Structure 1
């Protein structure tokens, strides 16, 4: 049966609207690439189905900025995942072990100073023993990234992942008891004040 011209016009308009909108949505999402090869990581095709529909993940995929950075309620989860998935190579506090350190201002891959770059290296892997972490949910990776940033001990003005406001309030992480793996348990550790570099004992900011 032939569709009335009025209804056909509505249908055509709706189709055009969807067709025009789809590229806009696609263009709004960041393209994440392998740290070494530059290949498209095809995040939505290769990531775990669970944990990728959170508000934080949607925000990150569109901006490349981790919304969990220095958000206290996500640090404990990030620490837990880091200890089980990353500390064997990078040390309990990111000090480096058989893999490079993650808690100072030197980055093997300079792009890791950005949230997008660090995510690409964690998710897609890099050289040597650094394999991909497709086994982690995207939301878990964001919490791990937040914990890695929390472990930072370098100059605050070089912490490009922090906002101006976060830089004003950030305290560099310095662990007194290197053998203690409960950094988010509320125990007392040494922190260096970002403004005057005085070292003072206080509880972790978890």
Structure 2
């Protein structure tokens, strides 16, 4: 076999290997679905920034938000929530035009899971809840979700999205709190 044919065979082999690896990754990833239609969500429509953070990659493969109860992410999540969500859901997610998000009643029961809540934020729902994929980065959606989960005001046993360790340490939200400036964690701003 000539060197040219060997090179071509290596390129084809590498391409096939890359395609197989991408296919395996896609098959192991979660199929996030539109809350209303059940259609698989198309993440190619998402804003390009914040798409490939370690947290987004972890979330896309596990369906669990790595920012939940990470104090370093809560202040950022709060700021995003106040500017993008509170007009409809209230400043403490108590509900206004849109439903409350700080208790155990979910208009869409799948929102009890991080995967479901993310799908509703990304792809929208009924009434005024439009898709947010052109307004918020994927990483920002995870931070908003962490803030919403933090605002939960009921018993920790009902916070099914928390790990066992997080549930043991969880205290229902009691009202306004002062968050520390730039604490250590996944969202800590490096100086």
Instruction: Give your verdict on TM over 0.5.
Output: yes
Structure of greater Rg: 1
Question: Structure 2: any 5+ residue segments left out of the alignment?
Answer: 181-191
SS in 2 for 1:59: helix
Q: Deviations over 1:139-165 (max 9, x none)?
A: 100000000000001121111100000
In structure 2, the partner of 1:67 is 66
Aligned to 1:40: 40
Q: Once the 2 structures are TM-superposed, how far is the Cα of residue 63 of structure 1 from its aligned partner? A: 1.3
- Whole-angstrom distance in 2 between the partners of 1:130 and 1:16: 42
Q: Following the alignment from structure 1 to structure 2, what is the Cα–Cα distance between the partners of residues 29 and 105?
A: 28
Residue 19 of structure 1: how far off its partner (Å): 3.4
Structure 2 residue aligned with 1:91: 90
Question: By how many angstroms is 1:23 displaced?
Answer: 1.2
For residues 26 and 132 of structure 1, the distance between their equivalents in structure 2, rounded to whole angstroms, comes to 23
Distance in 2 of aligned mates of 1:112 and 1:16: 38
- Give the drift of 1:12: 5.1
Q: Flag the structure with higher strand content.
A: 1
Name the residue aligned to 1:165.
Answer: 165
Aligned counterpart, 1:148 = 148
**Aligned partners of 1:12 and 1:140: how far apart in 2?**
39
Structure-2 change in CA distance of 1:4 and 1:99 (3 Å)? closer
> What's the counterpart of residue 117 of structure 1?
116
Q: CA separation of 1:20/1:110 partners in 2, compared to 1, >3 Å: closer, same or farther? A: same
Residue 29 (1) aligns with residue 39 (2) = no
Number of residues paired by the alignment? 179
Q: Which moved more, 1:3-12 or 1:67-76?
A: 3-12
Superposed displacement of residue 116, structure 1: 0.5
Q: CA deviation at 1:72?
A: 0.4
Q: Residue in 1 aligned with 2:139?
A: 139
1:11: how far off? 4.6
With a CA cutoff of 8 Å and minimum separation of 6, indicate the structure with the bigger relative contact order. Answer: 2
Distance in 2 (CA, whole Å) between partners of 1:130 and 1:7 is 53
SS at match of 1:171: coil
Shift, 1:28, TM fit? 2.1
